[in-house]
Every structure is written in structure tokens, then in C-alpha cells.
Amino acid sequence: MIESHAVDTLSHTKEMSQGEDAMSVSESRPSEFDGRLSGERDWREIVAWVGDLPPMPQVAARAISMVEDPETTAQSLTDLLSNDAALAARVLKIANSAMFSRQREITTLSQAVMVIGFKALKGIIVAATLRQLNKNFGKLEKLVWENSMCTAMGITLLAKQLRKPYIEEIFLYGLLHSLGQIVFLSQKDTASDYPNVLASIENNGETYSAAEQQIYGFSHPLIGALVAKKWNFSAETCQVILHYSDPIEGDAPDNELEEKTAFVKLGEMISHLAGVGSPEGYPDQRENALTTMKYLGIGQDNAEEFLDKLIEDTKAQYELEGSIYS
């Protein structure tokens, strides 16, 4: 079972971003920090750092809020997206990918909104926004972005194959699993140390999370969850981001949240097995992927063949459409 805790820290973050001193925040460390800090790292410093991060771009934030509002009309959402030409162009481009298209070319924003639907549009807006966060799209940024997109693609393919009811959501969760890494690379104070993360992976055969823990004293799932909360994503979204790299306990998920979290975990492994967004020296994920599949009850009769086909299909999908998201 994957433990579920409320991601409450950003109530503190919001206070601190309004100018409160760190010492005015309660001394009681929020539960999401348990076991996620190394050495002398102070959780309050991390809360303050996240609180100082830029907010989500205004148009994207407003669009995501509107998508969640049942009173929003397609025309009002189209009008809003039209105010950001770069975002609108990227949304239109992504809307025509196989992940979202409905067997017809989408040529206008109004078509995108009407044909794709609000739920799927949320994932597209987030994809377009995240890609714009890293102004310098160098080798490291490309590596993390490729892992993010391939993870989202892989688990979307799997969710469609298994006819899960949360296909649009799982794309979003797969996309956001590396939000913390994107944030690390977008900030000068943490970006300068990220080459050391890759060196630790190459030298020690560690995962991204383990190497980040060594270098920073915390890792991207924690930062991603805190930033997602700051940006007003749902509590479930924050939970998936926070826990996706945690060890799995138990024989099967106890609830849908645990199932979604394990899907993202599997998708990230598939991305590495497909060789997408996987740095030199990254540990082989095959046995972990098979264990996660068993936990999810996937491919029980022919797990090895099922996994090979999933890797093959994910890699093919990424090679076909990965450039659309870049």
C-alpha cells in the first residue's frame, strides 16, 4: 500500500510568500516531510524556497481554473487562451497529436475546446505550460522533459488498453511526476547542482530521486507536490506526485488513488526501459516494472511479453509524436 497524507504545507507556503518570517510558521513539521529530508535540511527553508518560486503563468492558471468550473463555456475558454499566442499555438499543436485527436484535424482553438473536451484540455494546457518553464532548453532540460512526456504517453496507452475511466487524468499525472525536476532546472540555485545529480546516477547507479537526495537533501517528488499545491492542483494530484517513487507495500492497491500512483510509477519505469529520458548509468527497471505490474494485476499470464510489448508501443508512440511536445 502507498501511504496517503494530506499535502498541507502550502498553507504555510502561501503565508510565507506574503512576507511572513519562517520562524512564525508552526514548529510542527508537516507529515509529507517525514523521511524525505537528509542531514540538517530544515523543512521551513524548503517551504520558504517554494513560496518564493514564480506562480503559474496567469493565462494558464486561469484556464485550468476555468476548466474545473462547470459554468465555463467553450467560448469563454477559447477567448482566454487566445490572449496568449504562444500558449494557444502549443495547445493547438498538441491537440492534433494521437493522444488527443478525434480522427479529424483541429485547426482552431474553438475546435480544440469543443472536440477534445475540458478534461483532456487540462492536460494539454499543463503540457504547454511546463514546456515553457525552462527558458534554456539544454541537454538536462531535454532529458527530464523527454522522461516526463514518455511517462505520460506510456501510461495513457496502457490506461486506454485497460479501459480505465481516468485516461485524461493519468496523462496529466504522468506529465506532472517530474514537475519537481523541471522546477530544479528552472531555478539558478538548484540548476547549477543538477549535473552532480547525473554524475551520481552514472557513478552509483542511482535513480533520479536517490541521487537528488544525495545532492540536495530532498528530491523532486516532494518539491513537485509542493509546487502543484502552490499552483492549486487537486489534493489527489499532489498525492500522486509525492508518492509515485515511494516503495510499494502490499499485494494490490487499496483504492483508486493508489492504483493511479502505481500507474505513474510503472510509466516512469517504462520510459527508462524504452531509453527515453534515461541518463547514463540509470539502474535497470525491469524487475521493478514486473513487480509493479503484479501489484496492479496487469499481464499476469504473460508478464514478460506484456512488458516487452508495452515498452515497444511506448517507444514507438514517443518516436512518432515526441517532437510535437518539444
- CATH code where residue 228 lies: 1.10.3210.10
The reply to whether 194 falls in a domain is yes
- Residue 27 confidence (pLDDT): 63
The reply to whether 181 falls in a domain is yes
- Residue by residue, pLDDT tens for the chain (326 residues) are 344 444 554 444 444 334 344 333 446 788 889 889 987 889 999 999 999 888 888 888 898 889 888 899 989 999 998 988 888 887 788 778 777 666 678 888 888 888 777 877 888 788 778 877 766 778 898 899 999 999 999 999 999 999 999 988 898 999 999 999 999 998 888 999 999 999 999 999 999 999 999 999 999 999 999 999 998 888 999 999 999 999 998 999 999 999 999 999 999 999 999 999 999 999 999 999 999 999 999 988 899 999 999 999 999 989 888 776 66
- Residue 18 confidence (pLDDT): 40
The reply to whether 47 falls in a domain is no
d(CA 277, CA 110): 33
Distances (CA, A) of 23 to 44, 157, 230: 8, 47, 20
Considering its fold, how many domains does the chain have in total? Answer: 1
- Residue 106 confidence (pLDDT): 84
Query: Range of 204's domain?
Result: 136-325
The reply to whether 145 falls in a domain is yes
Task: Give the 3-state secondary structure of residue 269.
Answer: helix
Q: Residue 111, Cα to own-chain centre: how many angstroms?
A: 27
- Residue 218 confidence (pLDDT): 96
d(CA 14, CA 3): 25
The reply to whether 16 falls in a domain is no
Contact indicator for 212, 46 with CB cutoff of 8 Å: no
The reply to whether 130 falls in a domain is no
- Residue 15 confidence (pLDDT): 41
Contact indicator for 26, 47 with CB cutoff of 8 Å: no
Structure pTM?
0.86
Distances (CA, A) of 215 to 22, 143, 208: 23, 18, 11
